[in-house]
Amino acid sequence: MDRDLESRQQVRDLIEKSKEAQKKYSLFSQKKIDDVIYKMSMGIRKHSEKLAKMAIEETGFGKYEDKIIKNNFASVNVYEYIKNMKTVGVLKEENETIEIGVPMGIIAGLIPSTNPTSTTIYKVLISLKAGNGIIISPHPNAKKCIIETVNLLKELSMEAGAPEGLIGVTTLITMEATEELMKHEGIAMILATGGEAMVKAAYKSGNPAIGVGPGNGPAFIERSANKKLAVKRILDSKTFDNGVICASEQSIIVEEISEEEVVRELKEQGGYFLTREESKKLGEFILRANGSMNPQIVGKSVEKLGELANLQFPKGTRVIISKEENASKKNPYSREKLAPILAFYVEKNWEKACERAIEILNIEGIGHTTVIHSENRDIIKEFALKKPVSRLLINTPGALGGLGATTNLAPALTLGCGAVGGSSTSDNITPLNLINVRKAAWGIKEIECIRKNEEIDHDFTKEKNIEELVRKIMEGILEK
């Protein structure tokens, strides 16, 4: 059989199996679902190191030790956040209304190559916590580690009592298979994390989708900030897993009054400022001819980036920095760079810095994330009011702050960008984004009250003498 046709058929078969399994799973009580999630979380965290090693060997992106942290984040932190969450059955009762959690059905989980195993763990856990089945579509450059992660989760779920087939993964990976998965009528929701083209395809599929494209978050170090600590946080973030997390900082913006101090701190903590010639040479490797980010730079170390551009950086260099004066789509340094590379901008004051941050976001990453380091709450509020982002992170590393590891945001590896960013939500995605809420509502007034434009403070649900109630309404005796 033709491989493309075979891959499409595999998707159809996986969806049918998951639908049958999800019918049974949708009848599970909250406690039974929670038992499944608990056993999956406890089991998969034992494989964090193995899966991290597989991801590094297959993709060449990032750092082994940081991928272990991300796998643990998905299996431990995410679990701790969702474990007591009510997702099925009665969620709450108040104001003569009952809210009931209803699973959506089958989730299509599209997985990127930058965070392959951790994102797989996360998407499977939140989907099953919500009472859904899920079909995973691996990125072709990370298929082995993703398939292994899914197989482990499948085995753990069935050991915990979940029906066979609830979790599926495509092993014949083609564009046609991904298209079939996204467009299939059996899919209730698409969770798309990855490149801009893939996210747009998810929204055009005809099925509901939550899509997250590129980030390009600028970090503003305002004059009142602790400069030493701000630089530490930025460099810690940008070097974590070699910068592959989309919430990581892409640019630093400072005011003229702070430039000298911030530059000194950056150099002392391992930042290397490129010469103009070096900046041009490295810049040629950041973008491809079509204007998209060059996968050759993604998750690579400073040393490897130097090899690519035929440049040598001083020993101990942690992050490469290019001082820039303009931002544009053609300027590679004002775009998303999933590597330890930063742009550096100097502005007259915080107002101009705010304008520069918005300019950068409008080029790429609008709706995603930005960072501010400041002790001035008034300026922080101004940034929060004006920035076209879903997350403004304050005095924290962008990468782990955006994921909810160093902030009180919901722990997540899919970060909504809101309507301004072309996303259906601005949330850090949790199981609550993967359920429908059915509302059962009692009547609280009669039509005569509506006609008279009156609100009657009366509990009709407890009225036993209906004839007397009707008489009172008709005679207009009841008062507000």
Q: Indicate which residue of 145, 246, 354, 417 is catalytic.
A: 246
Give the per-residue pLDDT at 130: 98
CATH of the domain at 184: 3.40.605.10
User: Residue 175, Cβ neighbours under 10 Å: how many?
Assistant: 11
- Are residue 257 and residue 178 in the same domain, yes or no? no
Per-residue pLDDT of the chain (480 residues; tens, 9 = 90+): 588 999 999 999 999 999 999 999 999 999 999 999 999 999 999 999 999 999 999 999 999 999 999 999 999 999 999 999 999 999 999 999 999 999 999 999 999 999 999 999 999 999 999 999 999 999 999 999 999 999 999 999 999 999 999 999 999 999 999 999 999 999 999 999 877 778 888 889 999 999 887 899 999 999 999 999 999 999 999 999 999 999 999 999 999 999 999 999 999 999 999 999 999 999 999 999 888 899 999 999 999 999 999 999 999 999 999 999 999 999 999 999 999 999 999 999 999 999 999 999 999 999 999 999 999 999 999 999 999 999 999 999 999 999 999 999 999 999 999 999 888 899 999 999 999 999 999 998 888 888 877 555 555 555 566 677 666 666 665 554
Q: Is residue 424 part of a domain?
A: no
- Are residue 204 and residue 231 in the same domain, yes or no? no
Q: Is residue 253 part of a domain?
A: yes
Give the per-residue pLDDT at 54: 98
Give the per-residue pLDDT at 261: 98
The range of the structural domain enclosing residue 80 comes to: 3-213+430-436
Q: Is residue 420 part of a domain?
A: no
Could you tell me whether strands 97-103 and 435-441 are parallel, antiparallel, or unpaired per DSSP bridges?
antiparallel
- Are residue 261 and residue 113 in the same domain, yes or no? no
Q: Is residue 315 part of a domain?
A: yes
Give the per-residue pLDDT at 422: 86
Q: Is residue 480 part of a domain?
A: no
- Are residue 272 and residue 404 in the same domain, yes or no? yes
Q: CA dihedral defined by 252, 258, 264, 269, rounded to 10 degrees?
A: -50
Q: Is residue 422 part of a domain?
A: no
Give the per-residue pLDDT at 213: 77
Q: Which residues pair with 320 in a beta bridge?
A: 272, 341
Q: CA dihedral defined by 309, 314, 315, 319, rounded to 10 degrees?
A: -70
Could you tell me whether strands 435-441 and 271-273 are parallel, antiparallel, or unpaired per DSSP bridges?
unpaired
Q: CA dihedral defined by 184, 190, 196, 200, rounded to 10 degrees?
A: 50
Give the per-residue pLDDT at 466: 67
CATH of the domain at 323: 3.40.309.10
- Are residue 235 and residue 382 in the same domain, yes or no? yes
- Are residue 174 and residue 270 in the same domain, yes or no? no
Contact 79, 125 (CB under 8 A): yes
Give the per-residue pLDDT at 200: 84
Instruction: State the Cα–Cα distance between residues 189 and 127, nearest whole angstrom.
Output: 10
Report CA Rg, the chain: 26
Give the per-residue pLDDT at 480: 43
CB-based burial, 2-30: b 16+ in 10 Å, e otherwise: eeeeebbebbeebbebbbebbeebbebeb
Q: Is residue 425 part of a domain?
A: no
C-alpha distance from residue 409 to each of 46, 116, 391, 404, 413 (Å): 26, 22, 9, 5, 11
- Are residue 204 and residue 100 in the same domain, yes or no? yes
- Are residue 403 and residue 449 in the same domain, yes or no? no
- Are residue 301 and residue 397 in the same domain, yes or no? yes
Tokens 């946080």, residue located: 233
DSSP 3-state of 68: helix
- Are residue 300 and residue 372 in the same domain, yes or no? yes
- Are residue 239 and residue 203 in the same domain, yes or no? no
- Are residue 300 and residue 448 in the same domain, yes or no? no
Give the per-residue pLDDT at 445: 86
pTM: 0.91
Give the per-residue pLDDT at 193: 83
Give the per-residue pLDDT at 472: 66
**What DSSP character marks residue 209?**
E
Q: Is residue 421 part of a domain?
A: no
Q: What's the domain count of the chain?
A: 3
**Residue 449 annotated among the catalytic residues of the structure:** no
Query: And the tokens for 435?
Result: 């359920």
Give the per-residue pLDDT at 474: 61
Neighbour-count burial of 459, counting CB atoms closer than 10 A to its CB (0-12 exposed, 13-18 middle, 19+ buried): exposed
Residue 97 phi/psi, 5-degree rounding, is -140, 140
